[in-house]
Amino acid sequence: MQEKQSNGLVVRTTGSWYNVLTDGGETFACRLRGNFRIRGSKQTNPIAVGDRVVFQLLDDGTGFITDIADRRNCIIRRSTKLSKQTHVIAANIDLLCLVATLGFPRTSTGFIDRMLVTAEAYHIPAVIIFNKCDLYGADDELWQIHNEIKAIYEGAGYPVYAVSALTGEGIDDIKSLIAGKVTLFSGHSGVGKSALLNAIDPSLHLKVGEISDWSLKGKHTTTFAEIFPINIMDPKSDGHQKFSIFNSQFSTFLIDTPGIKEFGMVDFGSSELSHFFPEMRKVLHNCHFANCTHRHEPGCAVKAAVENGAISAERYQNYLNILESIESDAPIRR
């Protein structure tokens, strides 16, 4: 009898079992060999959804994972503030879609900026999707607010979309955006993530209007992300589905992260924070002091850019707020 070797994408984990989707579209329940470890890893889970793995298929139809491909990125969560151990939520993410709403509920720019900083720190490209745009209707004032926010974020380098999961407005743009990618959707409960995913792929049949996913679960329950392979055609392509990753029949994946309200900030020092604001990154080498915090130092290029309008005052204020929260946390983190 010969052991058959195969490879695929980890789409679901439950602790000791990993569901691996092969390029042929079959899913196998796999386990790890007891001594499997990633070199130098402090992580409680050596494998997460989004990992590419090699496994050996056993006679009973299950598999043994023997190897894991290097990760391009991964998002993690610290088990506790004091702990050095981390939990990998998902790996190899191509894009973060931050779903927000101007109203019902209103997403604060503080939340948006914390998520964007996290995405920068993880090296994950991010876009902002404003959902429920049908509610703006013909209200010019709401559209004006929308356009102001759009200008702020596009000025910082983040594409901004206006969509409605209800009417389908703008959904084709999102399909084009995510075709062939592994995309993580995040955002507050109630902004319409589930409705949006259903609008993208109606066969998902996700429950809409359920608050179960993000806010109600206890803070310390262990939750596992899940990847959904979806079938979409890029509306802007010439009819050929893009097969950018893995040459699989599935090339587009959505990641759902139940129970995870906000990803823990990566462990970085306060001096690194401004590097995670792309518009600050561009000018901070002109600051007089190399260790400038861009708060009160003379000759600060960031403050000068805020004063002349090149950097949004709101983004700058959010920078200061995050800076303060990092500094007040510092004794625990270090």
Q: Give dist(CA 254, CA 129) in Å, integer.
A: 15
Interaction partner, residue 21 (ligand GDP, Zn ion, Mg ion, none; CB < 5-8 Å by kind): none
Interaction partner, residue 76 (ligand GDP, Mg ion, Zn ion, none; CB < 5-8 Å by kind): none
Question: What type of residue is 290?
Answer: A
Which DSSP string corresponds to 91-131?
E---EEEEEE-SSSSPPPHHHHHHHHHHHHHTT--EEEEE-
Q: Give dist(CA 183, CA 49) in Å, integer.
A: 12
Interaction partner, residue 190 (Mg ion, ligand GDP, Zn ion, none; CB < 5-8 Å by kind): ligand GDP
| Residues 77, 120 contacting (CB under 8 angstroms) | no
Tokens of 193: 């993530």
- Shortest Å, Cβ 140 to Mg ion: 31
45 binds Mg ion per the rule CB under 5 A: no
- Shortest Å, Cβ 210 to ligand GDP: 6
Q: Which residue is nearest to ligand GDP (CB)?
A: 192
213 binds Mg ion per the rule CB under 5 A: yes
DSSP 269: -
Tell me which H or E stretch contains 56: strand 52-57
Stretch that binds Mg ion, among 113-121, 162-170, 190-198, 320-328 (CB under 5 A): 190-198
| Residues 75, 67 contacting (CB under 8 angstroms) | no
Cβ distance to Mg ion smaller for residue 75 or 165: 165
Tokens of 289: 């002091």
Q: How many CB atoms lie within 10 A of CB 142?
A: 15
Q: Give dist(CA 134, CA 193) in Å, integer.
A: 15
Cβ distance to Mg ion smaller for residue 183 or 194: 194
Interaction partner, residue 209 (Mg ion, Zn ion, ligand GDP, none; CB < 5-8 Å by kind): ligand GDP
Cβ distance to ligand GDP smaller for residue 63 or 192: 192
- Shortest Å, Cβ 297 to Zn ion: 6
Binding site for ligand GDP (CB under 6 A): 131-132, 134-135, 164-166, 189-195, 208-210
Cβ distance to ligand GDP smaller for residue 130 or 253: 130
- Shortest Å, Cβ 193 to Mg ion: 5
- Does the N-terminal peptide bond of residue 202 adopt cis geometry, omega within 30 degrees of 0? no
Cβ distance to Mg ion smaller for residue 113 or 256: 256
Residues lying near Mg ion in the complex (CB under 5 A) are found at 193-194, 213
